[in-house]
Amino acid sequence: MGIDDFRLARFLPYRLAVLSERISRRLSAIYGAEAGLSVAEWRVMVHLARCREVSVREIHNCVNLDKSRVSRAVTRLETAGLVQKTGSPTDQRLLAISLSPEGWHLLDRIVPPTVDYEARLLAALSDADCAALDTIIEKLHRVLDADPEARPRSVLDLPQPPDAGDASAPNDATIDRTP
């Protein structure tokens, strides 16, 4: 079997990339049409909706975006009036970023159709498929987790324990005490 038997179309990393990008592009047509949100901005805003007031680093740790990408996304969002940047009183380095009222309104309009589209995708899958997909994604991640050469996984992307004692606060991020 020579090199030329290699089939891109059967190559798992390629297949995932293609599917993922196709979905991403379709989605960004949804939340990009309303406001001109990029993927980065979308992730930041959605994360803020859950975590209310977080720093750049926390966003960076949670939503798989480069530090500078988050920084720039936040700047753009602030200029657009969708987000507020306040300096933390306790730590002068930190930034307290939160959604503005306009930001919330925008999310109100943008999240539902986005979720609908996800539902449309999921509707094509059986319950067994969905379960299998969870398993598969997790298994693949674990291979990468075990590989020192691979980029580590964000905390929030770890499988969530089935939510034992809910503390009424959506603090997925507070787990973040690694250093």
Where does this chain bind DNA (CB under 7 A)? 38-40, 55-58, 60, 65-69, 71-72, 74-75, 85, 90-95, 179
Burial class (CB in 10 A: 0-12, 13-18, 19+), 115: exposed
What is the C-alpha to C-alpha distance for residues 144 and 162, in angstroms, rounded to an integer?
23
Rg (CA), the chain: 19
Q: Cβ neighbours of residue 84 under 8 Å, at least 6 residues apart?
A: 78, 97, 98, 99, 100
Q: With CB under 8 A, what is the number of residues at the site for a copy of itself?
A: 71
Q: Contact between 29 and a copy of itself (CB under 8 A)?
A: yes
The only residue of 68, 116, 153, 175 in contact with a copy of itself, by rule CB under 8 A: 153
- Residue 85 contact, options a copy of itself, DNA, none, Cβ 5-8 Å cut-off depending on partner type: DNA
Q: Contact between 93 and a copy of itself (CB under 8 A)?
A: no
| Distance in Å, CB of 136 to DNA, minimum | 24
- Residue 179 contact, options DNA, a copy of itself, none, Cβ 5-8 Å cut-off depending on partner type: DNA
109-128 binders of a copy of itself (CB under 8 A) = 111, 115, 118, 120-125, 128
32-91 binders of a copy of itself (CB under 8 A) = 39, 43, 46-47, 49-50, 62-64
Q: Decide whether 3 or 167 has the Cβ nearer to a copy of itself.
A: 3
Is-contact 11 19, C-beta < 8 A?
no
Distances (CA, A) of 155 to 9, 16, 20, 49, 141: 32, 22, 21, 18, 12
Q: Decide whether 43 or 107 has the Cβ nearer to DNA.
A: 43
The percent of the chain in helix, strand and coil, each rounded to the nearest 5, is: 60, 5, 30
Distances (CA, A) of 97 to 62, 173, 178: 14, 14, 21
Q: Decide whether 90 or 127 has the Cβ nearer to a copy of itself.
A: 127
